[in-house]
Every structure is written in C-alpha cells, then in structure tokens.
Chain A
C-alpha cells in the first residue's frame, strides 16, 4: 500500500514537472525548416521536389497536363503538337477542348511550396553566398510557374507568401491581378533570379542558373510582347477584359520586346554558349548532328542552357515518347506505336538547298500543282521516282533529322510507308489491304505482307502513320525500345541556345530595336548549322519558317500560334494534309508516285477565340473572375 502511495506521489511530482517545457518536444517525424535548410543536402532535397513540380513542357507534357508518367499514364500519346499544324495523331481526330491545357491547382501547390521556402530564407543561419543562391533559385521557380499560369489564364492571383488558414476562409481568397501586373511580376522575379543565381552548379547539377533565368526572361518577355502587339487580332470582351485581367495595351509591346532583346543579348554576349557543331561539311552530316542533339542533349553543353533529366526508367522518372512515337516496324512488341504523324504542311515548310529563303513544297506532278488535294487522278502526269525518298532530295537536313521519311533507314530497318498501288490496268488501290502479282512478283498495297513489315496507312491498331511521315526527333536510335510504360530516359532540353537566337531575332524584327545585322546573323547561323551556305535576309516569313523548322516538336508551336494570335486564322475549318506514296505498277520496273491528299478521317478544325485563354476552375468557391465565354 505504501509502495503504491509512493509511486502515486512520484507520478504526481512528475506530472507537475510537465508544466515546464519538458513536453515541448520537436516532433521526431518532421524536420524544422531551420534543420532542413542549414544542411546543403536538405536544400537539395527540397529543391528536387520543387523542380520535379516545375511546369516544364517536356516529354511528359500532354494536353491533359504535366508529368503524365505515373503508373499507367494512358492518354493515347496525344501530344500538344497534334493540336497544331505540326502533326496529327494516328488514331484520334479531335481538336482542343475546354478541358485541355489546364494547370491551376498544381501550380498553386507549387507556389505554396516555394513561398514556404521564401518565408524561411531570412531566418536561416547559413552563409550569405548560400542564402543568395536559394533566393535566386526560389525566384526562378516562382517566375517559371507564374509564366505558365500567365500563358494559360492571363492575369492570375499573385500569392507572394505562404498563406495560413486561421478559421477564416475569406482571407485566403486573393483576386486576380491584371495581366500586365502578372507579366511584370514574372519579369521582376526573373531579375531576382538573374542577380542571385550562380552561372553553374558545382557538380553540374541541373538546377536553375543565371543563364537559365535569362533564357526564361527571353521567352517570357517575347510572349508578353506578342500579346501586346497582336492581341487586337482576336479581341475578346467581358468582365475579365474590362478589369484588364486579360490582354495587354499595345504600348507595352516595346518594353517587353526590349526586355527580350536584353535578356537574349546577355546570353549571346556571355561567351559561354554556342551552337552545337555549327559548321557541318555536308547536309548528311548536319542531319545526323541535329538528330543526335535531341537523342542525347548532354553531348551539347555549349547549346543546352537548361536540361530536364529523366534519370531512370520507372513511374514518375521515365517517359513514353519512345513507345508512343516509334515507327510500327521498330515497336519491339509494344502494341501502340506510331502515334505522332507529321503533316504534309509541316514537311512542305522546309527550304531546299538550291532555293534558299523559300519553302519548297513537295511537287508530285509534272505540272507542279501543289494546291490539289483531290486524290489520285489517272489523267494526271505524276513524277516518277525509283525509291520512295528521292522526292525529298535536297531538302533541309533537319527534315531528315526530324521525320522518318518513307523508305529511309531507322534502327537498321528500312521503314516502309506506302499508301497503295496503281495496277498495270490503271486502277488505283489506296488505303485498302490488297495484293497483286505482276511478272511473277507479289506486290502489297502497304508495301509488305503483314503489319510487322510496314509502318504506314494500314488502320490496324492505329499503329501506322496516316500522313505518310513517321517521327524521329528525340527518339533514341541506339537501343531497341523497352516495350513498357515509363521506360524512356531521353533528357529534354528546355532552353537551348538556338531558341534564344530566334527569340532575339524576332524581338528585333517586330520592334525595330536592337541590332538588325546581328539578328540576321543569328538566324543564318542556325541555318548554317543545318547545312545551308547562302544567307537569307531577316524577314518575318524567313524567321517564322526558321523558328518552326528549328524548334519543331519542342512544344513551341502551340504557344507561337497563341501569342501571335494566329490560331483562329490558320485553324478555320482547317483540313490537315498528307502525302500518299503509291507504287506505280504501270511502269516496269515499278516506280513510286506521290499524291497530295487530305489526312483521312480527320475533321476540319476551327479554333474558338475564347481558347486564347483557358477557363479557371472552381470560380464558385474561389470567386475569381472567369475568362470570357466559359
């Protein structure tokens, strides 16, 4: 009994002791900000999470969002390029919907994560130099994030520090800033990043650098300037317009173009960057250089300004470009290859070496008519070719580095892309499975006896191109594809030197500011790298062609159409075009002819004005002003 009493008393004493700070323990399953950021490894860890969330439009960016590479990320491989004039999907024909290109919640999650970091920076007990680097990195990430938001939605709520919920939800609601204020904030954040970030990271980590921040500013300023200059080509109305939440005054074009010129010049003057293999000996060499640059951008540190790495195969770390877009013949057992089909209008765009400064559309007939998409006409005199790629001879090397052309080699196979044949009696069999024996030889409409032996036009599985072209850029030629989800590990160049040169040239040309000679030189340097030897003048047509060709499939075209307000003009009942290679059995030996056609089974596409800005989700709860017409 006494024993018990004693124990009770001791316990009581202990309880009294609880009134001191004995129980104010640091939780053992959580790290304090101080502990985390005082350790360089902790900073790295936190930063890795922020970079992971960064809206980089890389190989995991699709119309349904960013980082589509977790688990079974089956979205059909529907890349943004397929909603521009660069490509169509082999199976699906649909166009932009209200649900596409939305990135609202995730962006504000990332902004909160950055703001938590920014709030804690002043309290950290670290060296001044380290503090500056964190300040710069946080600003870079926040600028990058708000840039994506501004592109999608116009003016957005600028949340500059982490919010705390204290039982009062109204205080958390931040109204939208004007589009001008949003862009200005992005410019200011870029400047903070530029002032504080190092030129490179010890150990070569892929983190934001001063140059990446300049590159971001170059891209963002060009976007803003374009909206100011071209916004009136597609006017909108409504509350969001009245409150200037979308749209920029035309007078703002000049300062933004100037900002683009300055940021681009900083990179051009740094002496750090140059074009990869700028002076090829032949077009063949140029084509291979260009292809290798995207197969592995790490070979080109002089060109790559900011690389997103895909470190290892697996969910959240690999990507699916290699399986979605491989020609059917090299699918290596993967059941859904061949989704990216470059269009004929894209192929038409390229220059030929013998006619610099002009797009050289593919001529298929003696008369040279390129406006006829009416299909095979037996009365027409078609040009004949002994192999299916001779028709592309003399075209810009980058065509060969970007697109798998009919009959060209890929991974030690000849990629067969054939739409049909013309029988000796003149009857054409197009996009139908058929075979015929002529002079003892069996010919197949698709160029082979079964779906493993060709990559074009057979609707089987949606695995074959329906435009006549396969996709090559970014794909790794060196290894057979691993036939599973998220096995691709090609790294992605987000910013590269060529884009900066093109941004600079466009800003100079559109604004009349800057050095026009240097801008023309920048454009022609890129053409020289592609094997061109004749410089062409800096005109809008030449520059925009160069931009589309050089940056093809880098997810730039969508934004170029948006910012220059050209989407609704080009996509007004737009029908996409294809090139049908046919084997002409009327000649002996058989030769190839080509027919310019509409892409089969794709509806005409019309861009709605309201799509220049995306709908903001959840306005019933967040009480934001919605963008027009949603």
Chain B
C-alpha cells in the first residue's frame, strides 16, 4: 500500500513534466507554376523521380532541406510551411537551371518560375490506328547537348511518365536532332494484351530526354485513348 502511494505521488510529479505544445502549427503556403519563358505554357513534369523544389528554411544551423514534388502539369503547392524566410530553388529539372532566390513565405505565397525547357515537343499527335497507337512529333532543342532518347509511355493513371508506366516504347537517339525531323513511336496493342486490356482507357504521353546530368524528361500533356 505504501509503495502504491509513493508510486502515485511520483506519477503526479511526472504529470507536471508535461506542458502543452507551445508551437504554432504551420500557417503558410507556397505554390506556383513552372512556365516556359517562350510559350508561356506550363512545363510538364514527372510525379516520381522528377523535378524537385528545394526549400531551405533560414534561422537553423544545421538545417535539412525540404524537397517539394512538382505535379505532372508543372504546378506545385505546399500548404504546411512555417512562416519564415526560405532559400528556394528548383533542382534536377527538365529545364536550364535557374538561380536560387530568398523569399519570405507567409500566408499564401505564390512563386512562379520562368524557365527554358531543355526540349520542346512540337506537333505532337497520339492516335489509335488499327491495332496500334501511333505517336508522331518533332523536337526543338534549347541546348546543344545530345538528345538521349524519346519515348511513348502508357499508364492507367493520368500522371503517366517515364518512371510511371506499364508499357514504354523508347528510341535511343544520342545525337543533336534536326528540328524538322518527325519522330514516330508505336505501341503494338495485341502484344501487350495483359497490360493494356481491350476496351479500357489508358493515358499516352510523349517524352524526350536531354543528355545533361540529372536532367528529367520533357513531355507533352498525356492523351487518353481507349484501346
């Protein structure tokens, strides 16, 4: 009984150790778009293994950077940030790298990045022809590096891309391309009958990869087709 009392007293002391969490919850948001400087259009991205936006919060040392994933359509948003000054830079992207910038994030801060994509995919067309899905397109390079490969990627999700596909048809290029050259990629449907089931809808997306370290593919928006 005595032991019990002592334990109870000790426990009540232990309760005093607890304080209410005195930190405010994250109250700020950062969002924006990645925009092609020339066309004004969004620069299409990958949802996994894609472009990140690196956020480094000021006032802490050492500090681990946060990496924000960019959505497929080229927009991004993080609505759980603490109000503070941050160094912000898109990294490992599919466009010519841009400088980092210091911004003060509070409330709903909007920050767009105007960039030059490594490759623009022009005159893109994805159509079903008989038992095939055929993609045709041209490439316009904005850097002098080689184009490593082009590909047509298929998935049941709209966020299809090179790292998210159930079927891929790729063509290794490893050369600087002629802007007038028309590329053609074909997915043969019967030989993929288990993955691309007849009567179902799938998303098809054309991508092209520049030969730059850590570069990501450039894309056009995915096209939905029934097979």
Contacts and interface: CB of A to CB of B under 8 A. Distances in A.
Given A372-B191, A626-B64, A237 B163 contact: no
Interface string B46-82: 0011001000000000101001000000000000000
Given A235-B214, A608-B49, A609-B49, A598 B194 contact: yes
Interface string A144-167: 000000000000000000000000
A232 B213 contact: yes
A572 B149 CA distance: 15
Contact of A572 (B62, B67, B162): B162
B91 interface: yes
A371 interface: yes
Interface in A562-587: 572-573, 575
B162 to A, nearest CB: 7
Nearest to A572: B163
From A232, A609, A629, residue with most partner B Cβ within 10 Å: A629
B68 to A, nearest CB: 12
Nearest to B97: A237
Contact of B64 (A236, A575, A619): A619
Interface residues of A, number: 23
A232 B193 CA distance: 37
A373 interface: yes
Contact of A375 (B67, B162, B168, B194): B194
B166 interface: yes
B92 interface: yes
Interface in A228-245: 232, 235-237
Nearest to A604: B166
Interface string B90-108: 0110000000000000000
Given A237-B213, A606-B48, A609-B214, A620 B164 contact: no
From B64, B166, B214, residue with most partner A Cβ within 10 Å: B214
A135 B204 CA distance: 63
Interface residues of B, number: 21
A235 B214 CA distance: 6
B64 A371 contact: no
B165 interface: yes
A606 B166 CA distance: 12
Contacts of A604: 166
B163 A374 contact: no
Interface string A589-622: 0000000001000001010110000000001100
Nearest to A375: B194
Contacts of B168: 573
A575 B193 CA distance: 15
A236 B214 contact: yes
A541 interface: no
A374 B193 contact: yes
Nearest to A630: B64
B62 A623 contact: yes
A573 B214 contact: no
A317 to B, nearest CB: 39
A629 B194 contact: no
Given A237-B213, A237-B214, A371 B166 contact: no
Contacts of B162: 572
A237 B92 contact: yes
B194 A374 contact: yes
From A236, A373, A374, A619, residue with most partner B Cβ within 10 Å: A374
Interface in B129-172: 162-166, 168
Contacts of A371: 191
A170 to B, nearest CB: 13
B52 to A, nearest CB: 7
Interface string A369-385: 00111110000000000
A626 B165 CA distance: 31
Nearest to B194: A374
Nearest to A369: B191
A620 B62 CA distance: 6
A237 B52 CA distance: 12
Given A372-B191, A609-B214, 10 more contacts: A373-B194, A374-B193, A374-B194, A572-B163, A573-B163, A606-B49, A608-B49, A619-B64, A620-B64, A629-B67
Interface of B: 48-49, 52, 62, 64, 67, 91-92, 162-166, 168, 191-195, 213-214
